[in-house]
Amino acid sequence: MSHYITMYVLVFIRNDTGILKSIYMAQRLSAEAAKKKAARDLAYAKTPDRRAKKADAQRRRRADPNGAKGKDWDHKNQRWESPAQNRSNDGLGTKTESGKKYKTK
């Protein structure tokens, strides 16, 4: 019987803005795939729901610049959260949150 040991090595690099990023997380897309993804992302960002959420977050950020520093507005919990916590749906992943409508001003 063979036994295998799996080891993962995480390698991080610092990008232009000084943020550490894993070199294995990047989506190494071809030029054609990157253009298609950019078009999909832009179309999603321009949906009425996304525009309303962005405008709401901008209003809240302008109203409370000190509370918003380094944080993202969570439309589900109606509070400022770290970007990692907000984007991962509090560690639950984003699939359970898909299609939900949250209050915006």
Predicted pLDDT at 75: 87
The pair of structure tokens assigned to 37 is 């993804």
The reported pTM is 0.61
11, 22 in Cβ contact below 8 A?
Answer: yes
pLDDT band at 92 (very low <50, low <70, confident <90, very high): confident
* pLDDT digit string, tens, across residues 2-57: 566 655 555 556 666 666 655 444 677 777 887 888 889 899 999 998 999 999 99
Rounded Cα distance, 105 and 40, in Å? 26
**What 3-state DSSP class applies to 20?**
strand
